[in-house]
């Protein structure tokens, strides 16, 4: 008679983690965004269920802190209907979402649930944790390959690598969403994951149908947490987008993660921090904001399996690039793209200010010739900008400065290179050829 063995190690670990005795508590107080509960034993980040009589489903809430013997919860939804005495049951697990290949082409809400009216996510799915640790820094592969974005100004002068994290800094209405839409359509990444965090509700459909388009949506997952959503849902929306990107990265894919915007993510954490009693610090932002930013931003990048190349937009308050969130984010990321309001006002799109932008990894992933051409074009553009006032009023005399003369001769070609129609896909090889032609024309004085 044959003998056989069954591996039950998985079930042993599940039994060890199981909470066999669950205490049910009661809501004692609701103050602002927080719900105070007594009688439960739950850890930070654990999801609890608040039973509201008359409602078909319990309200999910997450443990965010403790105060005077009470557990502080913040609902993953509306506070409406919750009253003193509602029963609260801990679930014994953190917040998770369902992931799978069926996510491609779908639009999810901030809690990872489909909101596009197409029903549940199809195909095989699995539960995936939302709050994950960044990859071990010693297990991250080095960034050695170029990721083509299809945007000339970025590929030519601010070249991005697979696994790099870039910030897009600008004021409102300067073209952040439009630039993200171009990159999502034209890049050579395998999968796009787009997080619209704190966006106006009106702009979501505009972005999906106009900026992203059917072609971009087909290989994308869009996570939406609009501005009227509770602060915790906006926070979770950012982490859900990261978790979806990590799932596809773990499959060995090259993922492009785009998040608009980190500033509104920080504002949501400020609301949570103030609600649980944190003291305001720099410009009203609580200390937890600056602790949470690297936990989110460091999750992108290379791993042993695949890559997450990330573009995070930063809404610059009053066009001040040194305000606290901009300064903190710029110190964490591997480069920044600055969009200029003056360029946008002169109908120059994408409004990339290449002289104030930098890709920290460009020297490591580009050829010597490419770096020389890009440096030369920057030099010509800087020379023109320095003498621009004199040129515009007709006070500059030709021959006064050979460097400025060369810049004037090339300026229209440089502007044509940096401008790009929203539907124009610039291939990387074509961008380099155009860059070389402009630089050589300047050197030859033609």
| Unique residue bearing structure tokens 């969403």 | 177
Q: Give the confidence band of 316 by pLDDT, cuts at 50, 70, 90.
A: confident
How far is it, in rounded angstroms, from Cα 440 to Cα 446? 9
Question: Is the pLDDT assigned to residue 352 strictly greater than 90?
Answer: yes
- What's the average model confidence in pLDDT over 220-232? 92
Q: Report the DSSP pairing between strands 358-359 and 25-31.
A: unpaired
- What's the average model confidence in pLDDT over 130-148? 91
- Give the containing element (helix H, strand E) for 365: helix 362-365
Q: 64: which residues sit within 8 A by CB, 6+ positions away?
A: 34, 44, 72, 73, 74, 232, 272, 276
Q: Give the confidence band of 304 by pLDDT, cuts at 50, 70, 90.
A: confident
- pLDDT exceeding 70 applies to what percent of the chain? 94
Give me the residue spans of the domains in the chain. Answer: 20-94, 97-365, 369-444
What mean pLDDT value characterizes the chain?
89
Backbone angles phi and psi of 374, in degrees to 5? -65, -40
Question: Is the pLDDT assigned to residue 240 strictly greater than 90?
Answer: yes
- pLDDT exceeding 90 applies to what percent of the chain? 59
Question: Is the pLDDT assigned to residue 147 strictly greater than 80?
Answer: yes
The residues that bridge with 434 in the sheet, in sequence order, are none
- What's the average model confidence in pLDDT over 325-354? 93
Nearest to 50 by CA among 24, 32, 69: 24
How far is it, in rounded angstroms, from Cα 337 to Cα 357? 5
- What's the average model confidence in pLDDT over 4-24? 63
For residue range 369-415, list pLDDT tens digits in order.
999 999 999 999 999 999 988 888 888 888 888 899 999 999 999 99
CATH architecture of the region 20-94: Beta Barrel (2.40)
- The two domains 97-365 and 369-444 share their CATH topology (first three levels equal): no
Angle at the Cα of 31 from the Cα atoms of 63 and 288, rounded to 5 degrees: 50
Lowest-pLDDT range of 209-223, 240-254, 420-434: 209-223
pLDDT value of position 251? 92
pLDDT value of position 5? 59
DSSP 155: H
CATH of segment(s) 97-365: 3.40.50.12240
Say what the pTM is: 0.88
Nearest to 413 by CA among 393, 387, 439, 378: 439
For residue range 153-177, list pLDDT tens digits in order.
999 999 999 999 999 999 888 888 8
pLDDT value of position 7? 67
pLDDT value of position 18? 57
Q: Which two tokens stand for residue 334?
A: 């591997």
- What's the average model confidence in pLDDT over 11-28? 70
pLDDT value of position 406? 92
Q: Give the confidence band of 178 by pLDDT, cuts at 50, 70, 90.
A: confident
Backbone angles phi and psi of 141, in degrees to 5? -70, 150
Question: Is the pLDDT assigned to residue 444 strictly greater than 70?
Answer: no
Q: Give the confidence band of 53 by pLDDT, cuts at 50, 70, 90.
A: confident
Q: Which two tokens stand for residue 304?
A: 């042993």
- What's the average model confidence in pLDDT over 318-334? 86
Question: Is the pLDDT assigned to residue 148 strictly greater than 60?
Answer: yes
pLDDT value of position 16? 58
pLDDT value of position 20? 57
Q: Give the confidence band of 139 by pLDDT, cuts at 50, 70, 90.
A: confident
Q: 162: which residues sit within 8 A by CB, 6+ positions away?
A: 143, 145, 146, 147, 254, 302, 307, 309
Question: Is the pLDDT assigned to residue 288 strictly greater than 90?
Answer: yes
Angle at the Cα of 228 from the Cα atoms of 181 and 310, rounded to 5 degrees: 30
- What's the average model confidence in pLDDT over 227-241? 93
Question: Is the pLDDT assigned to residue 442 strictly greater than 60?
Answer: no
Q: Give the confidence band of 199 by pLDDT, cuts at 50, 70, 90.
A: confident
CATH of segment(s) 369-444: 1.20.1270.330
């Amino acid at each position: 008679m044959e003998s056989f063995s069954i591996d039950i190690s998985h079930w042993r670990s599940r039994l060890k983690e199981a909470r066999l005795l669950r205490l049910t508590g009661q809501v004692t107080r609701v103050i602002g965004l927080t719900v105070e509960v007594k009688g439960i034993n739950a850890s930070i980040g654990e999801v609890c269920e608040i039973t509201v009589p008359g409602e078909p489903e319990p309200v999910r809430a997450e443990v965010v802190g403790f105060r005077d013997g009470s557990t502080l919860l913040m609902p993953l939804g509306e506070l409406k209907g919750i009253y003193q005495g509602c029963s609260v049951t801990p679930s014994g697990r953190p917040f998770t979402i369902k992931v799978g290949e069926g996510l491609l082409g779908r639009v999810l809400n901030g809690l990872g649930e489909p909101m596009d009216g197409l029903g549940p996510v199809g195909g095989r799915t699995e539960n995936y944790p939302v709050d994950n640790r960044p990859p071990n820094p010693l297990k991250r592969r080095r960034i050695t390959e170029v990721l083509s974005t299809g945007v000339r100004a970025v590929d030519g002068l601010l070249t991005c690598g697979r696994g790099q994290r870039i910030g897009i800094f600008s004021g409102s209405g300067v073209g952040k969403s439009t630039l993200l839409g171009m990159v999502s359509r034209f890049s050579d990444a395998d999968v796009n994951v787009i997080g619209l965090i704190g966006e106006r509700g009106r702009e979501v459909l505009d972005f999906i149908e106009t900026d992203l388009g059917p072609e971009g949506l087909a290989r994308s997952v869009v996570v939406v947490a609009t501005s009227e959503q509770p602060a915790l849902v906006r926070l979770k929306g950012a982490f859900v987008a990261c978790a979806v990107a990590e799932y596809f990265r773990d499959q060995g894919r090259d993922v492009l993660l785009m998040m608009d915007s980190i500033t509104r993510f920080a504002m949501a954490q400020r609301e949570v921090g103030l609600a649980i009693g944190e003291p305001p610090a720099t410009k009203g932002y609580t200390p937890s904001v600056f602790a949470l930013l690297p936990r989110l931003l460091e999750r992108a990048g290379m791993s042993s399996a695949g890559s997450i190349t990330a573009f995070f937009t930063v809404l610059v308050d009053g066009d001040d690039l040194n305000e606290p969130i901009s300064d903190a984010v710029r110190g964490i990321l591997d480069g920044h793209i600055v969009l200029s309001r003056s360029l946008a006002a002169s109908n120059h799109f994408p409004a990339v200010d290449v002289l104030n932008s930098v890709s920290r990894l460009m020297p490591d992933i580009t050829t010597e010739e490419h770096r020389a051409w890009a440096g030369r074009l920057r030099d010509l553009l800087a020379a023109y900008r320095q003498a621009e006032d004199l040129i515009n009023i007709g006070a500059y005399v030709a021959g006064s400065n050979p460097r400025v003369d060369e810049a004037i001769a090339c300026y229209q070609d440089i502007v044509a290179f940096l401008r790009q129609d929203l539907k124009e896909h610039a291939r990387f090889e074509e961008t380099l050829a155009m860059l070389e032609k402009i630089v050589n024309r300047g050197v030859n004085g033609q």
